[in-house]
A and B are shown apart, each in its own frame.
Chain A
Amino acid sequence: DGGITQSPKYLFRKEGQNVTLSCEQNLNHDAMYWYRQDPGQGLRLIYYSQIVNDFQKGDIAEGYSVSREKKESFPLTVTSAQKNPTAFYLCASEIGTGGTEAFFGQGTRLTVV
């Protein structure tokens, strides 16, 4: 079945550590996105990529990094520079760019302990 897979579903990190969240899609979509969700704040865009080996910062990119070495994969690294990383992270993909339809993964809940 085609879809977007995020792993792990739950992730715990100690302060000062980097951690990488996985996002894989087999929909053959060009565009991929990472959103952060906090209660009462909706979804905020962290990074997005329209094509392999290219990505752009979203509204809240500080403390995060990404790579897009393969069309199917768009991992997000939460670095120690991110001051408040505890949140629910959602990955999405879109067949092209132009505001068509985004498909979402099931999310990763990251907790800093």
Chain B
Amino acid sequence: AQSVTQPDIHITVSEGASLELRCNYSYGATPYLFWYVQSPGQGLQLLLKYFSGDTLVQGIKGFEAEFKRSQSSFNLRKPSVHWSDAAEYFCAVGAHSSNTGKLIFGQGTTLQVKP
């Protein structure tokens, strides 16, 4: 069965420091992979997505992610974190069984940014 694991429930970084949020997936074929961000009480906004091609994808707000098939990972990175990046981040994989196209989400990582 398809699944997504985000090993870190909560991460705290200092403003200006680099960030890496981990995501591991289990999927039988080449997955579609996504990172979403959610501010408190709000919906989810797409940061970036990987469908095929270059394994390093660039997203909005200075984020990037790298698809590593051998490690079944799709980690999110940002070179320098801003206070406004504090939010909850979700990794998701597109599931194509039975042509549903539904997304399966990880449990989320809450990012806190220290001044």
Contact = CB atoms under 8 A, between A and B. Distances in A.
Contact of B43 (A31, A58, A96, A105): A105
B43 A106 contact: yes
Interface string A34-59: 01000011110100101000001010
A19 B32 CA distance: 34
A43, A58, A99 — most chain B CB neighbours (10 Å):
A99
A107 B42 contact: yes
B90 A43 contact: yes
Nearest to A104: B43
Interface size grouping (class) on chain B: 20 to 34
A42 B108 contact: yes
A101 B101 contact: no
A109 B49 CA distance: 27
B105 A31 contact: no
Interface of B: 9, 31-32, 34, 36, 41-46, 49, 90, 93-96, 99-108
Closest 7 CB pairs of A and B: A99-B94, A97-B101, A104-B43, A99-B32, A42-B107, A43-B105, A104-B44
Interface of A: 4, 6, 31, 33, 35, 40-43, 45, 48, 50, 56, 58, 88, 90, 92, 94, 96-107, 109
